[in-house]
Amino acid sequence: MPPNAIRHRLSRPRTAGLWALIAALVVLAPTLVSHGGAVAANKAARPQHPADASVFTGRGPLRGAVRVSDGRLVDERGPFWALGASYMAAAWFQKHGRAALARNLETLSAAGVDYVRVLGAVGGEWWTGRETDPRWSDYEAIIAGLTDLAHDRFGLRVAWTLFGDTTQVPTPEARRALVARFVELAAARPQKLMHFEVANEAYQNGFEGADGLRELRALTDELVRGLRSRGVTLPVASSSPPSASCDDLRMAASSTAADLASVHFPRALDGRHGVWGPVLAPLSYRECRGTLPVATNGEPVGPGSSVEREEDPRRLVSAAAVTFVAGLPLHVFHSSAGVRGDVAFADLPNAVSIFAGLRALREVLPRHLPTGETITASDDRHPFEGPAPPNGGSGPLLGAPASLIDAGAVVVIAGERGELTLTARRAMRVRALDAVRGTWSAPRDLAARDVLRLAPSEAVIRVVWR
């Protein structure tokens, strides 16, 4: 299918958007026929009866206002995970490019994205032609209109980062006034928002040095006080620190009323784990004592991202799953389309496969997955022995982090490999996600010591004990 045909399918009206995404995927990716489908087991494995499919219930829709309760991100239905997407210049598009904005929001909605991360004020040379300026005469109408459009038409919430930098709000008084404007925005529509962040990478975007840090903390506390005084319980992050080291994370968590940590994990692809380093990075968060219990993986590597870029569907889908398995409830898909917006989301490399894989997570992963217990493959409670690549499999295989949740687990297989063979430690029922095609295998029953074979593109396994 030519690229312009894919764009046409991905930008049709909302009622057809999801089916257009699936249809494009079917055309581009023929059905997998090897291994008897997406997952194969040895002769002792038995197909699950259709009546048992309800044990693999997915996340379901979000409902009501979001808050932090007992160290968990919750809505009216309890703890949940959510998938976001950077769309930093969306306010500019609300003012100057609404047709393109609507097409992009439709693409993200069809991809199973729950919210967009938008900058409330940004300028400077790099942002020329995409500035968001609180001095606009219609600024309140722009930010309210964007929030309403995203939620009411496309089912997307907004996570506002108030300050992309301070070029458009050059004085402390202007910055305090912007905080007050967003308190009013939230008080009128809390159920349409995901969370707030005061500043994007404040340490290099207008809040440098000791004085900048003091102002950032004061603005954070002022935002929290303002929201709570209006009965708004939305989570608030201060800003991501210069690194994801434990010292920086603890410093960012101290001395403010913030109840959400914004973390920008390293994007480097040449570290100890190579291209899988950014995928596995969220697993380090729980190792840091003294940090906030609820955190967002706010700007991971993605298609066209700065410093490094990642376009592989399996790694990008696995990155979101690892975030939730690691106990972080929020993961943001970050790309060049989501910064200045010079390219449409539908035109990103491998867009159909990436978005189909991300959307599929919602179908089977339990909504309270971040509340599970994170373990490694060396733990005796892990569903599978190993894993180890079979003969002919490529390496290195980096492991299979898992979360023990309900009466089962979610496992993510990380590392470059060919076909993979796993041995079940106990009786279980499984489904596996083909991250390239965005499809889950049919449920299978395994007895203890049964063998499960995974194709190279299968990345996430949902396990329910029998």
Cα Rg, the chain, nearest whole Å:
22
Q: Which of 174, 171, 186 is nearest to 226 (CA)?
A: 186
- pTM of the complete model beyond 0.85: yes
For residues 129 and 393, the model is more confident at 129
Start-to-end CA distance of the chain, whole Å, equals 43
pLDDT at 31: 35
Question: CATH code for 67-364?
Answer: 3.20.20.80
pLDDT digits (tens, 9 = 90+) for 348-367: 999 999 999 999 999 999 99
pLDDT at 386: 65
Rounded average pLDDT over 21-34: 40
Q: Work out the mean pLDDT of the chain and round it to a whole number.
A: 88
Confidence of residue 112 (pLDDT cuts 50, 70, 90): very high
Q: Which of 53-67, 73-87, 236-250, 417-431 has the lowest mean pLDDT?
A: 53-67
Orientation of helix 139-154 relative to helix 98-110, angle to 10°: 40
* Assigned token pair, 192: 């349409």
- Classify residue 198 as exposed, middle or buried by CB count within 10 Å of its CB (0-12, 13-18, 19+): buried
pLDDT digits (tens, 9 = 90+) for 374-386: 999 889 999 998 6
pLDDT digits (tens, 9 = 90+) for 148-174: 999 999 999 999 999 999 999 999 999
Confidence of residue 100 (pLDDT cuts 50, 70, 90): very high
Rounded average pLDDT over 170-179: 98
Q: Which of 283, 261, 264, 287 is nearest to 272 (CA)?
A: 283
DSSP code per residue over 145-212:
HHHHHHHHHH--EEEEEEES-STTS-SHHHHHHHHHHHHHHHHH-GGGEEEEEEESSGGGTT--HHHH
Cis peptide before 387 (omega within 30 of 0): yes
> Could you tell me the residue ranges of all domains in the chain?
34-58+372-465, 67-364
pLDDT at 256: 83
Look at residue 29 and tell me whether its pLDDT is greater than 50: no
pLDDT at 56: 85
Q: How far apart are CA 276 and CA 454, in angstroms?
A: 19
From residue 170, alpha-carbon distances to 36, 105, 175, 177 in Å are 62, 31, 8, 12
Collapse the DSSP code of 405 into the 3-class scheme (helix H, G, I; strand E, B; otherwise coil) and give the result. Answer: strand
pLDDT at 387: 55
pLDDT at 54: 56
Rounded average pLDDT over 244-267: 93
Q: Are the beta carbons of 412 and 322 closer than 8 angstroms?
A: yes
Look at residue 16 and tell me whether its pLDDT is greater than 50: no
Q: How far apart are CA 279 and CA 282, in angstroms?
A: 7
CATH topology of domain 34-58+372-465: Jelly Rolls (2.60.120)
Q: Do strands 157-163 and 408-412 pair parallel, antiparallel, or not at all (unpaired)?
A: unpaired
Q: How far apart are CA 433 and CA 311, in angstroms?
A: 18
